[in-house]
Amino acid sequence: MTTATKHDPPTAEATSVRTDELAALLVAGERPPRPSALSASLTFGWRAMVKIKHVPEQLFDVTAFPIMMVMMYTYLFGGALAGSTSEYLQFLLPGILVMSVVMITMYTGIAVNTDIEKGVFDRFRTLPIWRPAPMVGYLLGDVLRYVMASAVMLGIGLIMGFRPEGGLLGVLSGVALLLVFSFSFSWIWTMFGLLLRSEKSVMGVSMMVLFPLTFGSNIFVEPKTMPGWLQAFVNNSPVTHLAAAVRDLMAGNWPAEHLFWALLWSGALLAIFAPVTMRLYNRK
Amino acid sequence: MSAPQHDPAIETSGLVKVFGESRAVDGIDLSVPAGTVFGVLGPNGAGKTTTVKMLATLLRPDGGEARVFGHDVAREADAVRSRVSLTGQYASVDEDLTGTENLYLLARLLGHRKPGAYARASELLEAFGLTEAAGRQVKNYSGGMRRRIDIAASILNTPDLLFLDEPTTGLDPRSRNQVWDIVRAIVAQGTTVMLTTQYLDEADQLASRIAVIDQGKVIAEGTKGELKASVGAGTVHLRLRDEAERETARSILAHTLDAHVQLEADPLALTARVEGDAGVDDASGAEQASRALAELASAGIIVDTFALGQPSLDEVFLALTDQPPGGSTTLDTSTDTSTEEIAS
């Protein structure tokens, strides 16, 4: 009697493994057909959403950070650069939107790197699914973050006096272009996320790429004041074309040339870094 | 299962993986028949995890060949992936997600539709005793619970071959027994299991065939019985009432068993190996031991405890490498661990 009670305390019973049920599950388990590429990618996108739900602090970079950027640059430099802050805001806001979103793309690399360090990546890699699905999933989740960042910045911009002449359509097409570019650009970070060994090094490399790329553009000032060699870089930078295109779209113009270059850069980035990422992913 | 019976679950020849200077896996030949539990036993850094990772398509072999159900792991990785599941050394689930969300995610990725995926997730959580923890993030799970959710994730679709990489490392005895129960239940349904472990009793408990790996090489392979036969039929452990009688007891045992008798660190204890004739089963060992016990009794020596055991795998390891497991590789462990880190 005593041994029986010793062996089966009621608490242990509640959490114990039920091998009979388990056996039934193993037999019953039908193997469904493998999911389509789209379905697998969307499932990984769903995972990114759920992670936002569980760790809402990670939205800090798409809420507080962009607000800070808009306010800081408008009030700090507006007067000095454009004579008045409200004048400057019309010029600056689309650019600062581009800069903030391009900057937060780097979190994709950090997310990839963190997953590798935890074991979950190995699980994904042993699944018989479309290989790029986990990467596309990260980026889909991130696109949502970019949308949030854009909405927050445009909201605060409107409060501060930003009046886009392109109207709703102009603003939406500007944001759409920004999302397309960011999606393509993020493949650089998935590559670094796979390539580099720690979160810190991903962060370090990101800064090295992002600072020259975003500041070395026409976001804050017209390149005319810069020395010739710098103008050559700035005028051909993808971020310059993107910022100019977004600015024009929001102002109600049709920036054919900048639009062409921004889309060409997007295509080129995707064509180069997506295959490199997948190669690293398969070899890892 | 749909597995063609003539194909072994795993077949490797001359499998090699090199990390920089060190040959983590240095020419491994294995053949694992379908439907069995194959134990891979070895100390830390022996190359167990690297071998499993190659077989589960996570690492590309640098040399040799490996086939899983007849499919080459490098050239037909997708075919292999649809038949196998891996439970890694660390929990290979998303710690930020809850138990339900993790299983739902993987069920969807395996092609289940939404309602089916939820149903499967909750059934598995129930069977693994995790229903109460289903809504909690995995990072708040205990070690044993993590291990169970991890195994649950591996059998969402009943795999034909399941890799369990050190499934009980760091678990308390109760959680370890639960994992063992789960493994036995999975095996009973026909899944082939490859189990790596550094715990000798674990391989003893679960596996039918065992390969002993050290420094990237298979140093012994066979059934449990075959491995043990290379050491002896069994071991007699004795604990006497009186310390002073140990010497006498030793000579009596040495005489009756015709074996080397070892004095333990405990001043009351002795251990003797029962040799048993080649090809003779354990009964002869038991017979010899009982005869020895009678001799001791007639000499007036009081035996407090007595145990006759099959030789433990510790002893097998000792006999095979001339060094105790772990002890032999204290020097290598550090370097091998670092290469494994680079690998992962």
The predicted-structure confidence for B255-267, as pLDDT tens digits, reads as follows: 887 777 878 888 8
Does B235 lie at the interface with A, CB-CB under 8 angstroms? no
pLDDT at position B293 is 85
Q: How far apart are CA B95 and CA A110, in angstroms?
A: 16
pLDDT at position B276 is 54
- Among candidates B167, B203, B170, B169, which has minimal Cα distance to B182? B167
Q: What are the C-alpha distances in Å from B105 to residues A217, B89, B121, B141, B273? A: 41, 21, 9, 18, 53
Residue A12 maps to a domain = no
pLDDT surpasses 60 at B327: no
Q: Are A17 and B127 in contact (CB under 8 A)?
A: yes
pLDDT at position A23 is 76
Listed in order, strand segments (DSSP E) in B42-117 are: 63-68, 71-72, 84-87
Mean of per-residue pLDDT scores for chain A: 86
pLDDT surpasses 70 at B279: no
The predicted-structure confidence for B37-77, as pLDDT tens digits, reads as follows: 999 988 888 899 999 999 999 889 999 999 999 999 999 99
Question: Which positions in chain B touch A39 (Cβ < 8 Å)?
Answer: 108
- A53, A120, A127, best to mutate vs chain B, most B CBs in 10 Å: A120
Does B96 lie at the interface with A, CB-CB under 8 angstroms? yes
Question: Counting beta carbons within 10 angstroms of the beta carbon of residue A167, is it exposed (0 to 12), middle (13 to 18) or buried (19 or more)?
Answer: exposed
pLDDT at position B333 is 35
pLDDT at position B312 is 65
The predicted-structure confidence for B170-185, as pLDDT tens digits, reads as follows: 888 888 888 898 899 8
Which of A92-96, A267-271, B188-192 has the highest average model confidence (pLDDT)? A267-271
pLDDT surpasses 60 at B121: yes
Q: How confident is the model at residue B271 (pLDDT cuts 50, 70, 90)?
A: confident
pLDDT at position A55 is 85
Q: How far apart are CA B53 and CA B51, in angstroms?
A: 5
Domain parsing of chain B, residue ranges:
10-228, 232-310
- B81, B94, B162, B184, best to mutate vs chain A, most A CBs in 10 Å: B94
Q: Are strands B234-240 and B303-309 parallel, antiparallel or unpaired?
A: antiparallel
Distance of CA A31 to the CA centre of its chain: 34
Q: How confident is the model at residue B326 (pLDDT cuts 50, 70, 90)?
A: very low
Does B135 lie at the interface with A, CB-CB under 8 angstroms? no
DSSP string, B18-60: EETTEEEEEEEEEEE-TTSEEEEE--TTSSHHHHHHHHTTSS-
Q: Which CATH class is domain B10-228?
A: alpha beta
Q: Are strands B303-309 and B63-68 parallel, antiparallel or unpaired?
A: unpaired
Beta-carbon neighbour count of residue B136 at 10 Å? Answer: 14
The predicted-structure confidence for A173-232, as pLDDT tens digits, reads as follows: 999 999 999 999 999 999 999 999 888 999 999 999 999 898 888 888 788 888 888 888
Does B344 lie at the interface with A, CB-CB under 8 angstroms? yes
Cβ distance of B185 and A19 shorter than 8 Å: yes
Paired tokens of A284: 């890892």
Angle at A239 between CA A237 and CA A244, to 5 degrees: 105
Which of A27-31, B195-199, B286-290 has the highest average model confidence (pLDDT)? B195-199
Cβ distance of B185 and A23 shorter than 8 Å: yes
Q: How far apart are CA B162 and CA B187, in angstroms?
A: 9
pLDDT at position B251 is 87
Residue A217 maps to a domain = yes
pLDDT surpasses 60 at A9: no
Reduced to 3 states, what is the DSSP secondary structure of residue B289?
A: helix
Question: Among partner residues B109, B120, B126, which is closest to A35 by beta-carbon distance?
Answer: B109
Cβ distance of B106 and A123 shorter than 8 Å: yes
Of the two residues A70 and B288, the one the predictor is more confident about is A70
> What's the ipTM?
0.82
The rounded radius of gyration (Å) of the Cα atoms in chain A is 24
Q: Are B226 and B220 in contact (CB under 8 A)?
A: no
pLDDT at position A130 is 92
To the nearest whole Å, the CA of A118 is away from the closest chain B CA by 7
Question: Among partner residues A17, A122, A133, which is closest to B181 by beta-carbon distance?
Answer: A17
Residue A216 maps to a domain = yes
Q: A26: nearest CA in chain B?
A: B158
In Å, the largest CA–CA distance within chain A is 93
pLDDT surpasses 70 at B2: no
Residue A18 maps to a domain = no
Q: Are A181 and A244 in contact (CB under 8 A)?
A: no
Question: Among partner residues B85, B116, B185, which is closest to A126 by beta-carbon distance?
Answer: B85
Of the two residues A223 and A48, the one the predictor is more confident about is A48
pLDDT at position B336 is 37
Q: Are strands B161-165 and B63-68 parallel, antiparallel or unpaired?
A: unpaired
Structural domain range at position A188: 37-283
pLDDT surpasses 50 at B344: no
Residue A28 maps to a domain = no
Q: How far apart are CA B206 and CA B193, in angstroms?
A: 10
Stretch among A158-162, B123-127, B227-231, B297-301 having the lowest mean pLDDT: B227-231
Q: Are B266 and B318 in contact (CB under 8 A)?
A: no
pLDDT surpasses 90 at B98: yes
Percent of chain B with pLDDT over 70: 84
Question: Which positions in chain A touch B78 (Cβ < 8 Å)?
Answer: 128
Q: Are A106 and A210 in contact (CB under 8 A)?
A: yes
B232-310 CATH: 3.30.70.600
Tell me the average pLDDT across A128-143. 90
Tell me the average pLDDT across B228-238. 72
Tally A–B CB contacts below 8 A: 144
Query: What SS3 string covers chain A?
Result: CHHHHHHCCHHHHHHCCCHHHHHHHHHHCCCCCCCCHHHHHHHHHHHHHHHHHHCHHHHHHHHHHHHHHHHHHHHHHHHHHHCCHHHHHHHHHHHHHHHHHHHHCCHHHHHHHHHHHCCHHHHHHCCCCCCCHHHHHHHHHHHHHHHHHHHHHHHHHHHHCCCCCCHHHHHHHHHHHHHHHHHHHHHHHHHHHHHCCCHHHHHHHHHHHHHHHHHCCCCCCCHHHCCHHHHHHHHHCHHHHHHHHHHHHHCCCCCHHHHHHHHHHHHHHHHHHHHHHHHHHHHC
- A6, A15, A52, A115, best to mutate vs chain B, most B CBs in 10 Å: A15
Mean of per-residue pLDDT scores for chain B: 82
pTM of the predicted model, to two decimals? 0.79
Reduced to 3 states, what is the DSSP secondary structure of residue B136?
A: coil
Q: How far apart are CA A9 and CA A146, in angstroms?
A: 53
Paired tokens of B18: 């090199």
The predicted-structure confidence for A10-24, as pLDDT tens digits, reads as follows: 444 445 777 777 777
pLDDT surpasses 60 at A49: yes
pLDDT surpasses 90 at B143: no
- Among candidates B281, B283, B97, B317, which has minimal Cα distance to B204? B317
pLDDT at position B275 is 63
How many structural domains are present in chain A? 1
pLDDT surpasses 70 at B339: no
Cβ distance of B184 and A125 shorter than 8 Å: no
